[in-house]
Copies of this chain bind each other. A is one copy, B any other.
Amino acid sequence: MSSVQTNSAISVDCVIFGFDGENLKALLVRRRNADPLYDDGGHKLPGAMIRENETLPEAAARVLEASTGLKDIYLKQTSIFSDPDRVDQSELQWICQYHGIKTDRVVTVGYYALVKLDPGMVSYTKRQGAVWMNVDDIHHLIMDHMDILSDALTVLQKDILWSPIAFNLLPKKFTVRQLQNLLEAVFGIELDNRNFRKKLFSAGVLVETDEYEKHVSHKPARLYQLNKSLFSKKNIVNFSTFARIINI
């Protein structure tokens, strides 16, 4: 039993998804935000080492709050990345030095978070030196962060069909079109608006409000809210509205 590994450092990396009504975006930072002396110009996902007496979800929530100022946001673990060589030697050296630790290996756990992307959020993250990029336009990140991102998107696609998390990406009051755009963006598909409405309303997941969008150069769309009474109990598990609507 001499070969048991006991001193892995564990980190979390968060894929923070946002939706602006049109495109699905992810929040990226540059390493220089952590250390101005070490900046190879590459983008990375926000992340951190876990602390003593901290669970991984807590660590992920901490990263999320540091990046966005938000608490109590939907966070889901995706995969764990444990290749002993996922961090190369120079990288490892920097990490040990920066954190004042000693370790042979860093295992990281991927999380994704869903954030409502409004102007306030954009300016907040801008002040933090972070940037929202269209997911479709992200092609290179440092280390294995591109893998973590791809994995998170795959998990998101499945989750969105089976739970009402899509609404975490939308404002409290939203238009039918915004919801349709979101599904189209996440899955890269097109939906027929008339049938989308029919199915959506017959599913009874939306509650209409008396409000309409403003400052648009066409007939303003009515705003809706999620029908939260549907999820009073443990019904969250059984939300499959979007699985039915999207013909997979």
Contact = CB atoms under 8 A, between A and B. Distances in A.
Q: How many copies does the complex hold?
A: 2
A138 to B, nearest CB: 19
A102 B243 CA distance: 47
A100 B4 contact: yes
A95 B37 CA distance: 42
Contacts of A3: 51-52
A5 interface: yes
Contact of A248 (B77, B103, B158, B244): B244
Contacts of A8: 8, 10, 50
Interface string A1-41: 11111111110000000000000000000000000000000
B9 A6 contact: yes
B51 A5 contact: yes
Interface in A54-76: 54-57
A99 B2 CA distance: 8
A149 interface: no
Chain A interface size band reads 35 or more
A102 B6 contact: yes
Contacts of A244: 248
A101 interface: yes
A51 B103 CA distance: 14
Contact of A100 (B1, B7, B82): B1
A174 to B, nearest CB: 24
A49 B162 contact: no
A129 interface: no
Contacts of A125: none
A101 B4 contact: yes
A2 B56 contact: no
27 contacts: A1-B100, A4-B49, A4-B50, A4-B51, A4-B52, A4-B101, A5-B9, A5-B49, A5-B50, A5-B51, A5-B54, A6-B9, A6-B103, A7-B7, A10-B107, A50-B82, A52-B104, A53-B84, A55-B83, A56-B107, A57-B82, A80-B80, A80-B109, A158-B158, A158-B162, A243-B248, A244-B248
